[in-house]
Amino acid sequence: MIHFLNHLFAYCNIDYNDARYVIFGVPYDSTTSFRPGTRNGPRAIREMSYNFETYMPSYDLDLADVPFIDLGNIDNTVVPETVVTEVQEAVQGIVRDGKVPMMLGGEHSITIGAVRAVRPDCFVVCDAHLDLREEFRGTNYNHACTTRCIFNDGIKEIVIIGARSGTKEQFEFAKKLHLFTADEVRTRGMTDTLAEIKQVIKGKRVYLSIDADVIDCCLTPGLGTPEPFGLAPQDIRDLIAVVAPQAVAFDYVEVSPFDHGQTATVASQMVREFIAAHWKAQKNS
């Protein structure tokens, strides 16, 4: 049998009705404040997915046996408020159908719409930046306002991991939240950090959002707002293993693929890690 490649995530060969996980992209970067390009992130993440074997030895799991589908990209507009609404409507439909939404960005502001659709008990975000501004460049739907907007929407249980950039006012505000800076994680170690996070999210419905810049920009330089002294890919992989079993939705955002593929490759593997960790936990529960 001849197999034809497409521009969707690798090994998505199942009908929507039978899918447990639904991947979709949002090629949007209209509120980018430093370097543009994250609109190309979803395509790059998908392209790198064809690099990997289906078998994941750490989970003794073949992804070819997991029912997931890639719907492609939303044909989104460019007005920030409208894009948030478009994402919200898309995710509401996926959740209504009893499936787990997995969003590929695109800039981080798209997460606001997805969280509004899911209404989780807890928002867990890995990010170099606090994103706690009330407004930036004329809109509170800017990528620099994502976590603050989610807090203002009523999600008070927020865990931020890997932050190392923000105004003094934002760091003061973050004291209301569960903040684990990159320096703190490095000092404490990821194992101890994850043990505390596990207690925070215990028994809660979690939305897990990963901004690509949480990882040190020297390791994954394809970023719109790069920051040094970040976490390592292995740290985020370990976090996914702990958080994914309780997650009701997931996104990986802010990949700006003007490097040599490092950032999109890591992102693609993290998508696979989430599916494997979530599926294995559900099958074993």
43 CB neighbour count, 10 Å cutoff: 17
User: In this model, does residue 148 exceed pLDDT 70?
Assistant: yes
pLDDT for 92-131, tens place per residue? Answer: 999 999 999 999 999 999 999 999 999 999 999 999 999 9
pTM of the shown model: 0.96
Which domains are present in the chain? 21-284 (3.40.800.10)
Q: What is the mean pLDDT of residues 183-187?
A: 98
User: In this model, does residue 186 exceed pLDDT 90?
Assistant: yes
How far apart (Å, rounded) are the C-alpha atoms in residues 124 and 57? 26
Q: What is the mean pLDDT of residues 264-285?
A: 94
User: In this model, does residue 171 exceed pLDDT 90?
Assistant: yes
pLDDT of 76 reads 92
User: In this model, does residue 2 exceed pLDDT 80?
Assistant: no
User: In this model, does residue 53 exceed pLDDT 80?
Assistant: yes
Please name the residues in contact with 105: beta carbons below 8 A apart, sequence gap of 6 or more: 25, 26, 28, 38, 41, 42, 111, 251, 252, 253, 254, 255
**Contact predicate 131/143, CB 8 Å:** yes
Structure tokens at 50: 């064809």
In what helix (H) or strand (E) does residue 208 lie, and over which residues does it extend?
A: strand 206-211
pLDDT of 12 reads 86
What residue type is assigned to position 44 of the chain? A
Q: What is the mean pLDDT of residues 49-62?
A: 96
Residue 283's pLDDT band, with cuts at 50, 70 and 90, is: confident
Q: What is the mean pLDDT of residues 64-77?
A: 95
How far apart (Å, rounded) are the C-alpha atoms in residues 271 and 121? 22
User: In this model, does residue 24 exceed pLDDT 80?
Assistant: yes
* Percent of the chain residues topping a pLDDT of 90: 90
Please name the residues in contact with 169: beta carbons below 8 A apart, sequence gap of 6 or more: none
Residue 135's pLDDT band, with cuts at 50, 70 and 90, is: confident
User: In this model, does residue 4 exceed pLDDT 80?
Assistant: no
How far apart (Å, rounded) are the C-alpha atoms in residues 130 and 144? 8
**Contact predicate 258/222, CB 8 Å:** yes
Taking phi first (over 0 means left), then psi (-120 to 50 degrees means alpha), and beta for anything else, what does residue 158 get? beta
User: In this model, does residue 62 exceed pLDDT 90?
Assistant: yes
Angstrom CA distances, 72 to 12, 83, 115, 185, 188, stand at: 11, 16, 20, 35, 40
Q: What is the mean pLDDT of residues 247-258?
A: 97
* Percent of the chain residues topping a pLDDT of 70: 98
pLDDT of 132 reads 97
Could you give phi then psi for residue 194, rounded to 5 degrees?
-70, -30
